[in-house]
């Protein structure tokens, strides 16, 4: 099974796509429609997020198994340490391996209920993503990704500490990082500079949200943990009542961001799809991103 790292080694930048597990049959149909549409563009890899509840977690495992066995896509499964003992984590990792998933995004995750509440590890579990990286590495020949935060993780006291903790994840064996959402190319580039200055050469992939609706803008603000720049709000807020105009302007803004990142030599762009394909396909076409096998 191909590793994400191998897919990042081409001469041209590539793209990847992120989905979440389906909640019901209608969701599942929409997810698979999007997966099949995007499969034709040969993304470098596709990933499925890992939720907190049992049925959502089952959905991740079921969907990633189907991707591994029924599509040409390179699957990457997210995994979090939330509410899992080490024995359970070993089981899930073994399951991923059994269905042919060799790429894992190793995450600590957020506390159940209140993401900003106190983090209490499972009594027989792990406290930090770094430990999950070590565990995954110890269980086989996996390619391991980790999260990175352009503005620092909300729980980090400062950027220097945040960078040190990120670098520890690479020292523990992580192969690449995917950056949380951000607004300006410079925000990502400063993260890349901090990691490089710490002597770490692991590839970092920017996370990109297609800004098609006011909801996607709100989600980007929430996940990035910062206010959107006034410049972007002035472009998009006046269009909030006009769905078509908002989408057009939002995709223009994202195209400009991606063009700048590509000019700065990022190896890939990681698109949040919300289990739809249209906006990502449009962006991939506009940016001239090529199939990973090209």
Candidates 102-110, 235-243, 245-253, 279-287; binding stretch for ligand FAD (CB under 6 A): 102-110
- Residue (199 or 241) nearer to ligand FAD, CB: 199
Q: Which of residues 227-256 bind ligand FAD (CB under 6 A)?
A: none
Candidates 28-36, 164-172, 188-196, 235-243; binding stretch for ligand FAD (CB under 6 A): 164-172
* Binding of ligand FAD by 108 (CB under 6 A): yes
Distances (CA, A) of 87 to 81, 94, 127, 133, 166: 11, 10, 15, 15, 25
Number of residues engaging ligand FAD in binding (CB under 6 A):
23
Long-range contacts formed by 139-142: CB under 8 A, 24+ apart? 139/90, 139/93, 139/94, 139/97, 140/93, 140/97, 140/102, 141/102, 142/93, 142/97, 142/102, 142/103, 142/104
- Residue (132 or 247) nearer to ligand FAD, CB: 132
Strands 204-208 and 176-179: parallel
Q: Two tokens at 154?
A: 């909300």
Q: Could you list the active site residues?
A: 18
- Residue (110 or 249) nearer to ligand FAD, CB: 110
Q: Which of residues 35-54 bind ligand FAD (CB under 6 A)?
A: 49-50
Residue of 135, 178, 258, 279 interacting with ligand FAD (CB under 6 A): 178
* Binding of ligand FAD by 84 (CB under 6 A): no
* Binding of ligand FAD by 219 (CB under 6 A): no
Residue of 34, 42, 44, 78 interacting with ligand FAD (CB under 6 A): 78
Residue of 165, 219, 260, 286 interacting with ligand FAD (CB under 6 A): 165
* Cα–Cα dist 148/116, whole Å: 17
Which parts of 81-155 fold into alpha helices (H)? 86-98, 129-138
Distances (CA, A) of 82 to 7, 93, 113, 125, 126: 29, 14, 11, 8, 8
Closest distance of CB 101 from ligand FAD, Å: 14
- Residue (153 or 247) nearer to ligand FAD, CB: 153
- Residue (188 or 246) nearer to ligand FAD, CB: 188
* Cα–Cα dist 126/132, whole Å: 7
């Amino acid at each position: 099974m191909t590793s994400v790292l191998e897919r990042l080694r081409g001469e041209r930048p590539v793209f990847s796509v992120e989905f979440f597990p389906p909640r019901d049959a209608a969701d599942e149909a929409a997810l698979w429609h999007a997966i099949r549409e995007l499969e034709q563009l040969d993304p470098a890899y596709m990933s499925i997020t890992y939720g907190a509840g049992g049925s959502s977690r089952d959905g991740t495992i079921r969907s990633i198994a189907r991707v591994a066995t029924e599509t040409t896509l390179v699957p990457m499964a997210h995994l979090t340490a939330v509410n899992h003992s080490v024995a359970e984590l070993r089981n899930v990792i073994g399951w991923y391996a059994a269905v042919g998933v060799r790429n894992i995004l190793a995450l600590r995750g957020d506390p159940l209920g209140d993401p900003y509440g106190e983090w209490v590890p499972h009594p027989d579990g792990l406290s930090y993503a770094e430990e999950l990286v070590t565990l995954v590495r110890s269980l086989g020949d996996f390619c391991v990704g980790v999260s990175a935060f352009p503005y620092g993780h909300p729980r980090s006291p400062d950027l220097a500490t945040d960078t040190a903790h990120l670098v520890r994840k690479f020292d523990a064996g992580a192969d690449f990082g995917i950056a949380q959402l951000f607004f300006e190319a410079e925000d990502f580039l400063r993260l890349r500079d901090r990691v490089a200055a710490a002597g770490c050469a692991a590839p970092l992939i920017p996370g990109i949200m297609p800004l098609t609706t006011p909801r996607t803008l709100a989600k980007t603000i929430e996940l990035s943990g910062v206010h959107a720049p006034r410049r972007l709000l002035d472009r998009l807020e006046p269009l909030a009542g006009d769905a078509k105009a908002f989408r057009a302007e939002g995709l223009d803004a994202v195209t400009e961001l991606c063009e700048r990142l590509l000019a700065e030599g990022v190896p890939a762009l990681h698109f949040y799809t919300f289990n739809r394909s249209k906006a990502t396909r449009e962006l991939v076409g506009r940016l001239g991103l090529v199939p990973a096998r090209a």
